């Protein structure tokens, strides 16, 4: 198999020759710059891979930390709500001890009418 042959062009005037030389020089300089950049990239390919993997790991770590923070905040909110509900339930249905029950009639025991829970503040009304 033979390589393809190019036709030979003969440049007649000096101006056309100079333009052809300038064009050839530009093509060669561009190719040299392209090769230099490719070689530089190849020399630093390990560093590029390391930086990409480090960046990916850092993003994954940040996402994990954010997820943990959200889970912790959610658990804290649930715990606060449960504590507040328990406090409200205790206030609404607090039993009277047996020694006090004998000396106090039902009409003398204060009754809690309304219990409202707002954040960590418990608001209630008592009737005698």
Domains identified in the chain, total number: 1
Q: Read off the pLDDT of residues 46-103 as tens digits, 9 standing for 90 and up.
A: 998 888 888 888 888 888 888 888 888 888 888 888 888 877 777 766 554 545 445 5
Residue 113 lies inside a defined structural domain of this protein: yes
Q: Structural domain of residue 69, as residue ranges?
A: 14-92+106-127
Phi first, then psi: what are they for 115, rounded to 5°?
-125, 125
Residue 84 burial (CB < 10 Å; 0-12/13-18/19+)? Answer: middle
User: Quick one: CA dihedral 62, 63, 67, 73, positive or negative?
Assistant: positive
Residue 87 lies inside a defined structural domain of this protein: yes
Residue 3 lies inside a defined structural domain of this protein: no
Residue 97 lies inside a defined structural domain of this protein: no
Q: What is the DSSP string of 14-61?
A: HHHHHHHHHHHHHHHHHHHHHHHHHHHHHHTHHHHHHHHHHHHHHHHH
Q: How confident is the model at residue 118 (pLDDT cuts 50, 70, 90)?
A: low
Inform me whether the pLDDT recorded for 122 exceeds 80: no
Residue 20 lies inside a defined structural domain of this protein: yes
Residue 115 lies inside a defined structural domain of this protein: yes
Residue 75 lies inside a defined structural domain of this protein: yes
Q: pTM to 2 decimals? A: 0.35
The per-residue pLDDT for 39 is 94
Q: Which residues pair with 114 in a beta bridge?
A: 125
Q: Read off the pLDDT of residues 17-46 as tens digits, 9 standing for 90 and up.
A: 888 899 999 999 999 999 999 999 999 999
Calpha distance 62→74 (Å, rounded): 18
Residue 1 lies inside a defined structural domain of this protein: no
């Amino acid at each position: 198999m033979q390589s393809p042959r190019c036709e030979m062009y003969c440049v007649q005037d000096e101006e056309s020759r100079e333009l052809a030389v300038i064009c050839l020089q530009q093509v060669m300089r561009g190719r040299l710059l392209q090769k230099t950049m490719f070689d530089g990239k190849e020399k630093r390919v390990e560093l590029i891979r390391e930086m990409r993997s480090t960046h990916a790991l850092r993003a994954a770590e940040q996402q994990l930390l954010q997820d943990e923070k959200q889970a912790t905040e959610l658990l804290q909110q649930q715990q606060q709500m449960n504590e507040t509900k328990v406090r409200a339930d205790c206030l609404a249905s607090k039993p009277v001890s047996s020694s006090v029950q004998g000396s106090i009639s039902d009409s003398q025991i204060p009754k809690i009418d309304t219990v409202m829970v707002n954040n960590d503040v418990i608001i209630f009304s008592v009737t005698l």
